[in-house]
Amino acid sequence: MAAFSALTVYASAQTTQGAGIVVTATRTAVTVDQALAPVSVITAEQLKQRQVRNAEEALRALPGIDIAKNGGAGAQASVYMRGANADHTLLLIDGLKMGSATNGLASLQHLPIGQIERIEIVRGPRSALYGSEAIGGVIQIFTKKGAEGLRGEALIGGGGEGTNEQGLSLSGGKNGWRYAASVSRLETDGFDARQPTTGFFAVNQPDDDGYQRTGVNVRVSKTFSRGEVELHGLRSFGDNDFDGTPNQGEFVNQTLGAKARLQATDYWDITLRAGHSRDDSTNLTDGVYFSEFNTKRVSLGLQNDIAIGDDHLLTIGADWMDDRVDSNTAYDVTSRDVLGLFGQYQGAWGDHDLLLALRYDDNEQFGGQTTGNVAWGYDLPWGGLRLTAGYGTAYKAPTFNDLYWPASAWFSGNPNLKPEESHTWDLGLAGENHGVSWSLSGFRTRVKNLIAYDATTFTNNNINSAKLDGVELELGFDIAGVDINVAGTLTRALDGDTGNRLARRAARSLKVQADKRWDAVSVGGDWIVQGHRWDELANTTYLAGYGVVNLRGEYRFAQDWALRVSAENLLDPTYQTINTYNTQGRLILGQLVWSFAQ
């Protein structure tokens, strides 16, 4: 593996985050084609070209990912990776865990695109490196980092549903210093999030549900001859409307982090991390305070990367994390800490690559948990083909809601819950021939101790299991200057006890992206087709499949000026990913962008 030839390569890759380098799959730098796990990368340039508005939209076109949403902009986006539960996907921002310790979900919908440099998606178990939640996979978002010179961008935009947005960013670097700062604002009147419902929790609020979000990002680093120090911060805050009781929300998502890397010798790198993150939510009913759930997380990390010769790398490290909950809901326990110790070996012998990883987590609420990964890769002697195979275990710790929600007439937390556990087999084949790059991977995951509501005791219990099997295809090629990317997924996600389909996950999907650029003009579009799904585990409420077409275009009418126009859901079909919740209809948006580089 070229990434092991010297730790200077590793250090450089960590600094530049080049398009062909990924770090999430192994916590070290490897090239995409040498990664032993299915990996997808979305760059800042692709985010601009596709004119997506937030991180959740950027993920829609990838294989193995299904998204269900309870409303429009700002509504909770549940990401189902490889058929696993929405809280079985780990979100990292610049290496820091992000998400709510109360409900276990990450607020991807609040992360603005303008502050993102790249997104790495690793499908499959990664608890051996990151601990809890990484059953279905890991999504890591890297915020903008400056480069030599000076660059800037300003934009204004707007369109349907009373949407308007503004953004400003500046980045640069000199003499080892790098900096980047940006601010953005989005407002929209939205649409009616939910249809009228009947029953005990009946909802009938026929109004538009708006959303406002402000995002700020700052990142500063200094590179020395044998190391680097970095400070970074991201804050997204605002408010959104929805239907029900409560029907308004105020949110704050924030990460603050520091990193120091020292190349102790030519073959030993030391990385120290410290971070603080917040996931705050305040709920109101018609402007009157209703509830709040505020999560604060402090984390520390130490990682040692030791090169053994040219083709072998040993990684040893420790992570410590402390979660705290501040809420008007009276939880019996409001804090917990976790200490994780991990080790990983990566080696290469000719055309063969091997990875071994092991981790032990000590959680003060439920004790110890051991997870591991084994992966093998082989460059076949013909056709530029690469074969990979792997096995991994993972787990998901119960949330504060699962464990300590106060007893009521219909629900109570259960402090005796065990972690959800999984084991996964992976097999993949990839190649690049005649300008066509492709990868095909299959997986088989079994999850036990799934946490589910037990109607006989009115509590959550470890009563379910799940069987997740699937095939994922990625295909990229060029026809007459048109860049085409295809992603296809077949997933069987079943309740292991009843054989019913797991809720809100489509069994089939096909996603096609096409883009063409001339000197001053670019056009593109997406076609996303999703199969049907069931809204609940009993498989009684059927949600039909759907197809969505998005179009986009850009015209650079001057050296530093561009006009962008996009049409989301152009054909305007009506569909739902969660029963009774409406989805985005046809929406036309435009942006005027000024940018410069020196």
CA–CA separation, 416 vs 402, rounded Å?
10
Q: What is the DSSP letter of 2?
A: G
pLDDT over 90 percentage in the chain: 86
- Find the mean pLDDT for residues 356-379: 95
CA–CA separation, 409 vs 403, rounded Å?
17
CA–CA separation, 89 vs 64, rounded Å?
12
Q: Of all helices (H) and strands (E), which one includes residue 567?
A: strand 561-568
- Find the mean pLDDT for residues 156-173: 97
DSSP helix/strand/coil, 404: helix
For 212-234, the pLDDT digits (tens) are 999 999 999 999 999 999 999 99
Q: What is the pLDDT of residue 113?
A: 87
pLDDT above 50: residue 535: yes
CA–CA separation, 11 vs 228, rounded Å?
9
Q: What is the DSSP letter of 32?
A: G
Q: Which residues pair with 248 in a beta bridge?
A: 241, 284
Q: Which residues pair with 249 in a beta bridge?
A: 240, 283
The model's confidence at residue 12, banded by pLDDT at 50, 70 and 90, is: very low
For 485-504, the pLDDT digits (tens) are 999 999 999 999 899 999 99
pLDDT above 90: residue 376: yes
For 583-595, the pLDDT digits (tens) are 999 999 999 999 9
CA–CA separation, 462 vs 450, rounded Å?
5
CB 206 within 8 A of CB 595: no
Give one DSSP letter per residue of 502-554, joined into a string. Answer: PTT--SEEEEEEEEEE-SSEEEEEEEEEE--EESSTT--SEE--EEEEEEEEE
- Find the mean pLDDT for residues 61-67: 95
Q: What is the pLDDT of residue 200?
A: 78
- Find the mean pLDDT for residues 178-190: 97
Q: Could you give phi then psi for residue 411, rounded to 5 degrees? A: -160, 145
pLDDT above 60: residue 133: yes
pLDDT above 60: residue 286: yes
The model's confidence at residue 19, banded by pLDDT at 50, 70 and 90, is: low
As a whole number, the mean pLDDT across the chain is 93
CA–CA separation, 513 vs 45, rounded Å?
15
- Find the mean pLDDT for residues 116-125: 96
pLDDT above 60: residue 466: yes
Tokens of 54: 């937030």
- Find the mean pLDDT for residues 376-386: 91
Strands (DSSP E) along 266-334, which ranges?
268-285, 288-307, 312-327
Q: What is the DSSP letter of 102?
A: T
CB 535 within 8 A of CB 568: no
CA–CA separation, 252 vs 280, rounded Å?
5
